[in-house]
Amino acid sequence: MKKLIFVVTLLVLNIQIFAKTHTLDEGKISFETGDEFQPFSQEIIDLKYPSKRAPKYVIGTKSTKTSIGFDIKDNQIEEINLEDARKTMSDTFSKIIPGINWIKNELIVVNKKKFILFNFLSNAIDTKINNTMLVTNYNGKMLLFNFNSTIDEYPKYNKTFDQIIESIKIEEKQ
Protein backbone atom coordinates (compact mmCIF):
# COMPACT_ATOMS: atom_id res chain seq x y z
CA MET A 1 0.00 0.00 0.00
CA LYS A 2 2.86 2.39 0.81
CA LYS A 3 4.34 1.73 -2.63
CA LEU A 4 1.03 2.55 -4.29
CA ILE A 5 0.75 5.84 -2.40
CA PHE A 6 4.35 6.66 -3.33
CA VAL A 7 3.73 5.94 -7.03
CA VAL A 8 0.50 7.98 -7.07
CA THR A 9 2.31 10.87 -5.36
CA LEU A 10 5.07 10.77 -7.98
CA LEU A 11 2.51 10.78 -10.79
CA VAL A 12 0.69 13.76 -9.29
CA LEU A 13 3.98 15.65 -8.88
CA ASN A 14 4.93 14.86 -12.47
CA ILE A 15 1.57 16.15 -13.71
CA GLN A 16 2.02 19.33 -11.69
CA ILE A 17 5.55 19.85 -12.98
CA PHE A 18 4.40 19.58 -16.62
CA ALA A 19 1.12 21.43 -16.29
CA LYS A 20 1.61 24.12 -18.93
CA THR A 21 0.69 23.33 -22.55
CA HIS A 22 2.16 25.44 -25.36
CA THR A 23 0.62 25.32 -28.83
CA LEU A 24 1.21 26.38 -32.41
CA ASP A 25 -1.15 26.48 -35.38
CA GLU A 26 -4.39 26.59 -33.42
CA GLY A 27 -3.39 23.71 -31.16
CA LYS A 28 -2.38 21.27 -33.89
CA ILE A 29 1.15 21.29 -32.45
CA SER A 30 1.56 21.07 -28.70
CA PHE A 31 4.09 20.33 -25.99
CA GLU A 32 4.17 20.59 -22.23
CA THR A 33 6.52 22.36 -19.86
CA GLY A 34 6.65 23.29 -16.23
CA ASP A 35 5.62 26.69 -14.95
CA GLU A 36 9.26 27.81 -14.75
CA PHE A 37 9.16 28.34 -18.54
CA GLN A 38 7.56 31.73 -19.22
CA PRO A 39 7.39 33.81 -22.43
CA PHE A 40 10.40 36.07 -22.97
CA SER A 41 9.96 39.75 -23.74
CA GLN A 42 10.93 40.94 -27.21
CA GLU A 43 13.91 42.72 -25.63
CA ILE A 44 15.26 39.45 -24.21
CA ILE A 45 14.58 37.62 -27.49
CA ASP A 46 16.54 40.28 -29.40
CA LEU A 47 19.48 39.87 -26.99
CA LYS A 48 19.46 36.07 -27.23
CA TYR A 49 19.09 36.06 -31.03
CA PRO A 50 21.13 39.04 -32.28
CA SER A 51 21.13 37.73 -35.86
CA LYS A 52 17.41 38.60 -36.09
CA ARG A 53 16.52 35.02 -37.03
CA ALA A 54 14.75 34.29 -33.77
CA PRO A 55 11.92 31.80 -33.57
CA LYS A 56 8.52 33.48 -33.29
CA TYR A 57 7.97 32.08 -29.79
CA VAL A 58 10.59 31.86 -27.04
CA ILE A 59 9.98 30.75 -23.48
CA GLY A 60 12.51 30.26 -20.73
CA THR A 61 13.58 30.45 -17.14
CA LYS A 62 13.80 33.59 -15.02
CA SER A 63 17.58 33.55 -15.30
CA THR A 64 17.19 33.58 -19.14
CA LYS A 65 20.06 31.06 -19.25
CA THR A 66 17.71 28.29 -20.40
CA SER A 67 15.17 28.72 -23.19
CA ILE A 68 13.01 26.98 -25.74
CA GLY A 69 12.30 28.59 -29.09
CA PHE A 70 9.68 27.19 -31.42
CA ASP A 71 8.25 28.23 -34.76
CA ILE A 72 6.91 27.15 -38.14
CA LYS A 73 9.18 28.54 -40.86
CA ASP A 74 8.28 28.90 -44.54
CA ASN A 75 11.29 26.79 -45.57
CA GLN A 76 10.03 23.80 -47.49
CA ILE A 77 11.04 20.47 -46.04
CA GLU A 78 9.58 17.03 -46.66
CA GLU A 79 9.76 14.06 -44.32
CA ILE A 80 11.08 11.85 -47.10
CA ASN A 81 14.08 14.23 -47.46
CA LEU A 82 14.92 14.69 -43.78
CA GLU A 83 18.20 12.79 -44.06
CA ASP A 84 19.38 15.05 -46.89
CA ALA A 85 18.26 18.11 -44.92
CA ARG A 86 20.12 16.82 -41.85
CA LYS A 87 23.37 16.47 -43.80
CA THR A 88 23.05 19.89 -45.43
CA MET A 89 22.16 21.66 -42.18
CA SER A 90 24.91 19.96 -40.16
CA ASP A 91 27.51 20.81 -42.83
CA THR A 92 26.34 24.42 -42.76
CA PHE A 93 26.40 24.60 -38.95
CA SER A 94 29.91 23.13 -38.91
CA LYS A 95 31.05 25.96 -41.20
CA ILE A 96 29.25 28.92 -39.61
CA ILE A 97 29.25 28.14 -35.86
CA PRO A 98 32.71 28.78 -34.40
CA GLY A 99 33.91 26.06 -32.03
CA ILE A 100 30.93 23.76 -32.62
CA ASN A 101 31.27 20.46 -30.76
CA TRP A 102 28.77 17.84 -31.99
CA ILE A 103 27.11 15.59 -29.42
CA LYS A 104 24.25 14.18 -31.54
CA ASN A 105 23.44 14.54 -35.20
CA GLU A 106 20.77 12.03 -36.20
CA LEU A 107 17.17 11.27 -37.09
CA ILE A 108 14.81 10.29 -34.28
CA VAL A 109 11.10 9.50 -33.92
CA VAL A 110 8.92 11.29 -31.37
CA ASN A 111 5.31 10.16 -31.08
CA LYS A 112 5.42 8.55 -34.55
CA LYS A 113 6.89 11.67 -36.18
CA LYS A 114 10.41 11.71 -37.66
CA PHE A 115 12.67 14.61 -36.59
CA ILE A 116 16.21 15.76 -37.23
CA LEU A 117 17.98 15.98 -33.86
CA PHE A 118 21.03 18.18 -33.45
CA ASN A 119 22.74 18.49 -30.09
CA PHE A 120 25.95 20.49 -29.90
CA LEU A 121 27.99 22.85 -27.78
CA SER A 122 28.74 26.31 -29.11
CA ASN A 123 30.42 29.45 -27.86
CA ALA A 124 28.49 32.47 -26.65
CA ILE A 125 30.10 35.77 -25.69
CA ASP A 126 30.81 34.77 -22.09
CA THR A 127 29.98 31.04 -21.82
CA LYS A 128 29.33 27.82 -23.70
CA ILE A 129 25.80 26.90 -24.74
CA ASN A 130 24.26 23.45 -25.07
CA ASN A 131 21.96 23.58 -28.10
CA THR A 132 19.40 20.92 -28.90
CA MET A 133 17.44 21.41 -32.10
CA LEU A 134 14.54 19.40 -33.45
CA VAL A 135 13.49 19.95 -37.05
CA THR A 136 10.75 18.27 -39.05
CA ASN A 137 8.22 18.93 -41.77
CA TYR A 138 4.78 20.18 -40.91
CA ASN A 139 2.42 20.42 -43.86
CA GLY A 140 5.36 21.14 -46.18
CA LYS A 141 6.94 23.77 -43.93
CA MET A 142 9.73 23.54 -41.36
CA LEU A 143 8.76 23.00 -37.73
CA LEU A 144 11.61 23.98 -35.43
CA PHE A 145 12.24 23.55 -31.71
CA ASN A 146 15.43 25.01 -30.24
CA PHE A 147 16.41 24.13 -26.66
CA ASN A 148 19.29 26.25 -25.32
CA SER A 149 20.98 26.24 -21.94
CA THR A 150 24.26 27.54 -20.63
CA ILE A 151 26.56 24.70 -19.66
CA ASP A 152 26.26 25.65 -15.98
CA GLU A 153 22.43 25.32 -16.08
CA TYR A 154 22.20 22.45 -18.55
CA PRO A 155 22.60 19.64 -15.97
CA LYS A 156 19.53 21.00 -14.18
CA TYR A 157 17.38 20.98 -17.35
CA ASN A 158 18.63 18.19 -19.63
CA LYS A 159 16.12 15.62 -18.31
CA THR A 160 13.38 18.27 -18.46
CA PHE A 161 14.24 18.90 -22.12
CA ASP A 162 13.94 15.15 -22.80
CA GLN A 163 10.49 15.09 -21.15
CA ILE A 164 9.36 18.15 -23.10
CA ILE A 165 10.53 16.58 -26.37
CA GLU A 166 8.61 13.39 -25.57
CA SER A 167 5.47 15.49 -24.97
CA ILE A 168 5.46 16.96 -28.51
CA LYS A 169 2.26 16.10 -30.38
CA ILE A 170 1.53 17.00 -34.00
CA GLU A 171 -1.76 16.80 -35.93
CA GLU A 172 -1.19 17.15 -39.66
CA LYS A 173 -3.60 17.57 -42.53
CA GLN A 174 -4.44 14.24 -44.09
Question: For residue 148, is it within any domain?
Answer: yes
Question: For residue 65, is it within any domain?
Answer: yes
C-alpha–C-alpha distance, residues 49 and 63, integer Å:
16
Q: What is the pLDDT of residues 47-68, one digit of tens each?
A: 888 777 889 999 999 999 999 9
Question: For residue 1, is it within any domain?
Answer: no
Question: For residue 2, is it within any domain?
Answer: no
Q: Please give the model's pTM, rounded to 2 decimal places.
A: 0.85
Which range of residues forms the domain containing residue 30? 20-170
Question: For residue 3, is it within any domain?
Answer: no
pLDDT for the residue 17: 52
- The neighbour count for residue 20, using CB atoms within 10 Å, is 14
Question: For residue 74, is it within any domain?
Answer: yes
Whichever domain contains 98, its CATH number is 3.40.1000.10
pLDDT for the residue 2: 56
| Domains contained in the chain, number | 1
Name the CA dihedral angle for 121, 124, 129, 132, rounded to a multiple of 10 degrees.
Answer: -70
